[in-house]
């Protein structure tokens, strides 16, 4: 048996239209999974990439600004793997941060993660199956950051949710883990990479000496979804080039 194969498995990846989510969806298809790409915008590009590579994928439009939007995604779908990747960020000084921005981030990044995971687990338990949940946390699950109070709080929450769900569900057949990405070269970090001083300061702290790539996160997600990680649950795995070791 190939311990890293996802053959015969079906995965749902949220926020799969671009960036890390897109890379995860493509990598899971490459490992043999059928992939459902979920996003508030079309995931057509991701579905096409998977199809061009010989994989099987479909898409569903869902906006996790409604934290209960994922509740019906698993009815009769026989999904074995859930990747909670969708997330948003709002920036302002803490003294000026609004309730609207607080609630918007918490709804998508924390509340939706919990209730989507709950719906997934109900489906797995109902059919007596087994499953894997991979949450996308952050370096700010461990650090405070600056000017992102709701994002930091939500990502601390993702780490806590990962642990409590693992405590309750691992014995029932669902492993729950999280990945904490470091500084990854996506559109979300373009402004940082375009700032020579800021980029140099970031790179100076990363022992690997480079920005991460979406594939760095994607292949880690495949591992956490595959049989190779069957004895891993409740872990928050840093994929940060050594950032937190500094």
Active site residue 231: no
Look up residue 102 and give its two tokens.
């607080």
- CA 220 to each of CA 43, 47, 62: distance values in angstroms, whole numbers, following the listed order: 21, 21, 25
Of these residues, 151, 183, 223, 231, which one is catalytic?
Answer: 151
Give the integer Cα–Cα distance in Å for 163 and 161.
Answer: 5
In sequence order, the β-bridge partners of residue 181 are 239
Active site residues: 151
């Amino acid at each position: 048996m190939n311990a890293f194969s996802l053959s015969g498995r079906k995965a749902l990846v949220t926020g799969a239209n671009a960036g890390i989510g897109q890379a995860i969806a493509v990598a899971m298809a490459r490992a043999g999974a059928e992939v459902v790409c979920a996003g508030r915008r079309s995931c057509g590009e991701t579905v096409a990439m998977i199809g061009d590579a010989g994989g099987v994928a479909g898409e569903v439009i869902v906006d996790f600004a409604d934290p209960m939007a994922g509740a019906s995604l698993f009815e009769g779908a026989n999904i074995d793997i859930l990747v909670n990747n969708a997330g948003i960020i709002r920036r302002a000084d803490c003294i000026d941060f609004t309730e609207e921005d607080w609630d918007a981030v918490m709804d998508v990044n924390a509340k939706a993660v919990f209730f989507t995971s709950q719906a997934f687990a109900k489906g797995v338990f109902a059919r007596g199956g087994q499953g894997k949940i991979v949450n996308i946390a952050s370096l700010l699950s461990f650090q405070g950051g600056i000017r992102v109070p709701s994002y930091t709080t939500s990502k601390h929450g993702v780490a806590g949710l990962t642990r409590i769900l693992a405590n309750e569900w691992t014995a029932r057949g669902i492993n729950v883990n999280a990945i904490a990405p470091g500084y990854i070269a996506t559109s979300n970090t373009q402004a940082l990479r375009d700032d020579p001083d800021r980029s140099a300061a970031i790179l100076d702290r990363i022992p690997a000496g480079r920005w991460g790539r979406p594939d760095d996160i994607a292949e880690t997600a495949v591992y956490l979804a595959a049989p190779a990680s069957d004895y891993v649950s409740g872990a928050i795995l840093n994929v940060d080039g050594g950032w937190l070791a500094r």
